[in-house]
Chains A and B, each alone.
Chain A
Amino acid sequence: MVETVVFIVFAIAAVVGAVTMLAARNPVFSAMGLLLTMFSMAVFYLLLDAQFVAAVQVIIYAGAVMTLFLFVIMLIGVDRREDLGEQIPFQRPVTFVLAAGLFAVIVAAGSSAWVTGSAAFGDPNMNGTIESVGRELFGGWMIPFLATVFLLTIAAVGTVALAQFGPGGLRLAPRGEDEESEA
């Protein structure tokens, strides 16, 4: 009972957040909307016995990713307002059709079987505690875990490299020397 109520409330919250993200002219409002959706997601994870994932969701997504988004919005243009007109012909109606079609297809397909695979597979006493997730992660999924280590390292290095592209092109030397030579 409680679960149902919580689900419905936060489902509405998620959808509202998503719609805000889509419809808002101001990008900061869009970010706020997405933030709401992400918090709702965390609540859903809690309902689904995935405590660790819920924690990580809040910390990483809501805490780091959205913060990053807001920083970039500030850099790029916080007060820009996008105009409402659509230049590409038929883009809007076709997109609506597409999205509706996608939703319909998935629901129609899933109504026969949402999840395939034997339920007897799993442990009915499964819980999403940090201990069980950790056991799984550092057990069978060690290699992919290490791969993600590489992935993040490369992402960080790549970002630093991308920061070298200035308005006039590539600036490889540190800032101080460049200013001297330009003068």
Chain B
Amino acid sequence: MIDSLWLVIAFPLAGAALLVFFGKRIGEPASGWIASAAIIASFVFAVPLVIPFVSGTAHPETVLVYRWIPVIGANVSLLWDPLSALMVMVVTGVGSLIHLYSIGYMHGDERYGRFFAYLNLFAASMLILVLADNFALMFVGWELVGLSSYLLISFWFTKPSAAAAGKKAFVVNRIGDWGFLVAVMLIFAAFGTVDFGVVFAEAPVVLTTAMATAITLLLFVGAAGKSAQIPLYVWLPDAMEGPTPVSALIHAATMVTAGVYMIARTAALFELAPASSGVVATVGALTALLAATIAIGQRDIKRVLAYSTISQLGYMVLAVGVTAYTAGMFHLMTHAFFKALLFLGAGSVIHAMANEQNMDKMGGLRRAMPWTFGTMVVAWLAISGVFPFSGFWSKDEILASTFAQGGFYYLLFAIGLLTAVLTAFYMTRLMVLTFWGAPRWDDGVQPSESPGIMVVPLVVLAVLSAVGGFINTPWRLGLESFLEPSFEAVTQAHPSSDLTAWVLVFGSVTIAIIGIAWGWARYRRDELPAETGGYWDAALAGYHVDDAYGRLIVAPGLAVASWSARIFDLRVVDGLVNGLGIAVRSFATSLRPVQSGYVRSYGLGIAFGALGLIVYLLIAGGAF
């Protein structure tokens, strides 16, 4: 059974291939059902393989599919351990729900089949990434998800902003990929192989601290690109140009978590470089705070969620930075549930509001869309960290683990706590502006509940967001024991299980309630507060970071490109090539007079040649 693990990847890959070629002919909604069937098949196939890990009776295995480049340890071989099993469950599970949702959401789109082809391609790519057992194959998956993300963000490519957003995502990701690649090269240089098993086992012996720090920092650059951390987060808000299911799947639940997964996977290397872990934790915390402050000022419902994603990713990165890998993966899972739910719910709202995304034009939707409203409430409470929803458990574990590190980490804890307040605040703001109050709709807009195919996934995700946290409570660390085989050789941080822990729990619940109350008080009024001036304008523009990048990096890059094209290529390269032609031509022209047409001149030449030859032969023959 485990030997056919590659089927998990093959199902969506086959679906993608089929739909790329025949999607148009198959039409809707059949292509949607085919794609959904493929990914559901992967999920169903993987479940029985996960259960042995739950009961703790299995140990990690590798399944060799194809001998690709055995010399450097890069084969197409899959690693099946609890960590990858968890990721496969999240990707295929949440992915299935989103596929089903998309059948309804993308109704009427003229490239329906192509959309599902790309979705399946993405699923296959992500599965390659998480199942890979060596850096090379992981990089293949890494790049493929980047490609799929580009294809899906710019799905409506006739819109210039969508095309530009796709390009931006790809280019910024590339910067991260550079870091990842250099790290892999260093690993190969140090170990002579890129196989996970060999590298992680020999790391303590082979690597110096300096080398380990270099490698892990470069790996983190890669993770920062994919998981939208400072300074490479700028692509994610723009990525909202893509259809909402894309935002849910790729930019909330799965692709952006690839960076977090990668750091967890390479925990053995991070263990040898505590300095890098410190950097990771700090960047994560700062990103969380920064994104939260920007989210407060956004008017577009999807942009709020985008910055929220960046912020929550910051939490996950903070977790793996303090070596609380289980906490990080836990939050990854719960975040997948409630963030996907939030995005799908937002999509439902946008769908009903005739593609209006600005919250200024919403309001009072709770009566018009009860199911959407109900499920979004669950997500809202989960992300704010309210007991007993899933977000509470995971966020609390992260904060507690950070606190337990002491010293400098008290500061990061404080940042995390502040971010939690802001999270609750801006999510409350979003909910109130969208669902409560008097309707501020445009004329002619008549929102009603979305079709069943869209609502069912919402309900499933709501249930998961509500109860998903119970798999890892401080009294029964279910997830931790599940992931134990993956982190055997690594020391993980744990929250202290004593009085401090209870104080922190109490504190985080209070924080959540404070945030919600503040948001409610501010926005649940008839007259909405004006959000203009100083801070609000800056937050709305994301503190002008994009402009700064444009001036500092993009503009010089364009200048270099323009110079290369107009001056270097045109004058130097063309000049060289043309000059060669001209040189040959002029040389030939200068030789032309030799052809005088006079036989006697030619005869003179012949005679001279003959004389020379005679002299040479006579000398060579020794006649002189």
Whether A and B touch directly in their complex, counting CB atoms under 8 A apart, is answered as yes
- CA A112 – CA B624 in complex, angstroms? 7
How far is it, in angstroms, between the C-alpha of A101 and the C-alpha of B612 when the chains are bound? 10
Report the tally of A-B residue pairs with Cβ distances under 8 A: 30
> A110: nearest residue on chain B (CB-CB)?
B623
* Cβ-based interface call for A91 (8 A): yes
Assess whether A156 is interfacial by the CB under 8 Å rule: no
B438 within 8 A of partner (CB): no
Closest residue on chain A to residue B614 by CB atoms: A105
Instruction: Quote the shortest CB–CB distance from B617 to chain A (angstroms).
Output: 9
- List B577-624 residues whose CB lies under 8 Å from chain A: 596, 598, 600-601, 604, 607-608, 611, 614-615, 618, 623-624
Within 8 A of B (CB), among A84-123: 88, 91, 94-95, 98, 101-102, 105-106, 108-109, 112-113
Q: How far is the CA of A105 from the CA of B624 in the complex (A)?
A: 10
Chain B's closest residue to A113 (CB) is B623
Q: Which of B601, B611, B618, B623 interacts with A98 by CB under 8 Å?
A: B611
Residues of B361-409 contacting chain A, CB below 8 A: none
- Once the chains bind, are A98 and B615 in contact (CB under 8 Å)? no
Inter-chain CA distance A60–B607, complex, in Å, is 28
User: What bracket does the count of chain B residues touching chain A fall in?
Assistant: 10 to 19
**Interface of B (DSSP majority class):** helix
Across the interface, which residues of B come within 8 angstroms of A109, CB to CB?
A: 618, 623-624
- Tell me whether A105 and B601 are in contact in the complex, defined as CB-CB below 8 angstroms, given that A112-B623, A113-B623 are known contacts: no
Interface range on chain A: under 10, 10 to 19, 20 to 34, or 35 or more?
10 to 19
Contact B623–A91 (Cβ < 8 Å): no
- Alpha-carbon separation in the docked complex, A98 to B614 (Å): 13
Beta-carbon contact of B618 and A105 below 8 Å: yes
Q: Given known contacts A95-B604, A98-B607, is B624 in contact with A88 (CB within 8 Å)?
A: no
Q: How far, in whole Å, are A148 and B81 apart by their CA atoms in the complex? A: 98
B-contact 0/1 string along A15-27, CB 8 Å cutoff: 0000000000000
Out of B601, B611, B623, name the residue touching A101 (CB < 8 Å): B611
Enumerate chain A residues within 8 angstroms of B601, measured Cβ to Cβ.
88, 91
**Are B618 and A94 touching (Cβ within 8 A)?**
no
Say how far A92's CB is from chain B's closest CB, in angstroms.
11
In the assembled complex, the CB of B593 is this many whole angstroms from the nearest CB of chain A, namely: 11
Q: A88-B598, A88-B600 are in contact. Are A98 and B608 (CB under 8 A)?
A: yes
Among B600, B614, B618, the residue within 8 A (CB) of A91 is: B600
**B600 contacts across to A, CB distance below 8 A:** 88, 91
Can you add 19 more A-B contacts, CB < 8 Å, to A109-B618, A109-B624? A88-B596, A88-B598, A88-B600, A91-B600, A91-B601, A91-B604, A95-B604, A98-B604, A98-B608, A98-B611, A102-B611, A105-B614, A105-B615, A105-B618, A106-B614, A108-B623, A108-B624, A109-B623, A113-B623
Hey, which bits of chain A sit against chain B, CB under 8 A?
A: 88, 91, 94-95, 98, 101-102, 105-106, 108-109, 112-113
Task: Spell out B's residues near A (CB within 8 Å).
Answer: 596, 598, 600-601, 604, 607-608, 611, 614-615, 618, 623-624
